Amino acid sequence: MFRFFILLLAGLFAFSLNAHAKVDFSGKTITWVVPFKEGGGTSRFSRFIEPFLTKYLPGNPTIKIMHIPGGGAIKGSNYFQKNAKPDGTYIFGCSTSVIVNVATGNPLVKYNLSSYKPVLLLPQNTHWFTRSDLIDEAHDISKLQKRKLVLYGLKTPASADLFHIWVFDKIGIKGAKPIPGLSSSGAWQAFQRGEIHLNSQGAAKYIKNVKPQIEKGKILDIMTLGLVDANGNISRNPLAPNAPTFSEMYEKVNGKKLSGDDLEAFYSIAAAWSQASKSMLLPENTPDDIVVVYRDAAKKMVNDPDFKAKATKVLGPYPLTVGEEAGAIIKKAAIFSDNTKKQLNKVLKKHKFTYRVK
């Protein structure tokens, strides 16, 4: 048995060496398709990673980032599906919006996301907060539960904002009413003007905009989505270690642990909204040797001292996921179960939206 194990390791090592020997991107240009305009979160993610990827891919190729905005990320995503060659010269900058389009059954989607080959995932997280005059202390939502009207911004129910509706329903904020058509920045501005009661932000804007207001006593944390690992364990967000996760708030409100259909739905939502929030993928049918080379380059990148020194500030304090584990997360994020769809449609109907998850 021991000899077999040694031979197996030797075979895997030889495969990795052979992959590196055969794959060479010298003199080639790699196109990184980002289905958003320049300057957004996925754009910043790709631009930060690009020089490190160039450094560690065999042959040190030139990487060109191509922004194709439009259609809620569908235009650029469909372009990638149609035009990307599975030879290592095309990579895709995925995000929650791209995933939600697939998971909710948008008929305009022409890309086979669940068949793509993930290289790495960068998780993010959602922070919910409110004004200090609306609750007695941080993390106490009892007053919000009693209010007849609790307004929050929602860009469109067909976007990731759909998940807010489900979250507020599960923690008993019965008066929560979305104001459709508000972008993330528009909702933040409306919150500052006192026009809405609840707001949420991701890591970068939480640090820049929210934390200073918390320190002044104007804003109080409610909770975060929480970080989910490969085994389904949910941990607190390091940017707000005192804030309960959604699962902790759920248990506090409902008197029982998050489980059953609700837990299943949460895992799918967390995969789409957090674990695979930003990711780098190769096209379907990309040969295994090329996938191995990309993943090896990603592993070297995350251990690069320069990357380590800069990544936390630029990308947030969240560990990147590289390799096979990333593939399982993408599939969970992109393929919602019938139960999860049923739960999301139930809250959509409750709030009189005509949109339905397919």
User: How do the domains of the chain map onto residue ranges?
Assistant: 10-123+276-322, 127-272+338-350
Q: 90 with 81: CB under 8 angstroms?
A: no
Single-letter amino acid code for the residue at 140: D
Q: 336 with 104: CB under 8 angstroms?
A: yes
Q: Classify domain 10-123+276-322 by CATH architecture.
A: 3-Layer(aba) Sandwich (3.40)
Q: 249 with 258: CB under 8 angstroms?
A: no
pLDDT at 331: 87
**Phi and psi for 176 in degrees, rounded to 5?**
-65, 120
pTM of the model: 0.88
Q: Indicate if 127-272+338-350 has the same CATH topology as 10-123+276-322.
A: yes
pLDDT at 229: 87
Task: Tell me the per-residue pLDDT of 51-73, one tens digit each, with 9 for 90 and over.
Answer: 999 999 999 999 999 999 999 99
Task: Tell me the per-residue pLDDT of 278-312, one tens digit each, with 9 for 90 and over.
Answer: 999 999 999 999 999 999 999 999 999 999 999 98
pLDDT at 12: 45
pLDDT at 10: 42
Q: 168 with 197: CB under 8 angstroms?
A: no
* Strands in the chain per DSSP E: 29-34, 62-67, 90-95, 117-122, 127-131, 150-154, 176-180, 198-201, 219-224, 227-228, 234-235, 278-282, 321-322
Considering Cα of 244, then 236, then 230, then 272, what sign does the dihedral take?
positive
Q: Classify domain 127-272+338-350 by CATH architecture.
A: 3-Layer(aba) Sandwich (3.40)
Residue owning tokens 């709030």:
351
pLDDT at 18: 52
Q: 235 with 229: CB under 8 angstroms?
A: yes
pLDDT at 11: 46
pLDDT at 21: 58
Residues of the chain with pLDDT under 50: 1-17, 19
Could you write out the DSSP letters of every residue in 146-203?
Answer: H-S-EEEEES-TTSTTHHHHHHHHHTT-TTEEEEET--HHHHHHHHHTTS-SEEEE-H
Residue owning tokens 């304090």:
317
